[in-house]
Amino acid sequence: MKAIKLQPDNSQSFYHYAEFLHKSNRLNEALVAVEKAVKLNPSDINTVLFAASCFREAMMYLKAEEYYRKAVQLNPEDSSSHMNLGAFLHLTKRLDEAKLSYMEALRLDPGDDLTLKNLRKLESMQAKRDGR
């Protein structure tokens, strides 16, 4: 908190404070701090992904999706950004959209084990949904 008082426009101070709050199970306070960090440095991919994760954990899915999509926009050639968006869409049962994100992640990193594993789970869910 002292760093924030000394440098109130420093996004990293807010980011680290949000991490501390998150680890201290003070999620609502962490959400405020991480949003401030993103506002101060909206192109920092790590902060954007941390914000997405925090909002997902808080089950504030609209905000979480906003940040997952922002991460993809910031770094469209990063397979993990597409995989994270896919996992979020998978979690929220948007299976067709999730598959597209997983496929893009695999296009960028064809051998990624986690994406392949998630895609297999998703395809199994789709088969059950479709009565196959």
Q: Give the per-residue pLDDT at 12.
A: 87
Q: Is the pLDDT of residue 44 over 60?
A: yes
Q: Which two tokens stand for residue 8?
A: 């109130």
Mean pLDDT for all residues in the chain: 93
- Whether the predicted pLDDT of 118 surpasses 80: yes
pLDDT above 90: percentage of residues in the chain = 85
What pLDDT is stored for residue 97 in this prediction?
A: 97
Question: Does position 1 have pLDDT exceeding 80, yes or no?
Answer: no
Which of 61, 84, 62, 58 minimizes the C-alpha distance to 73?
84
Task: Taking residues 40-63, report their average pLDDT.
Answer: 97
**Nearest one of 99, 97, 105 to 122, comparing CA atoms:** 99
- Read off the pLDDT of residues 76-86 as tens digits, 9 standing for 90 and up: 999 999 999 99
Cα distance between residue 6 and residue 101, in whole Å: 41
- pLDDT at res. 47: 97
Which domains, and CATH codes, for the chain?
1-58 (1.25.40.10), 76-132 (1.25.40.10)
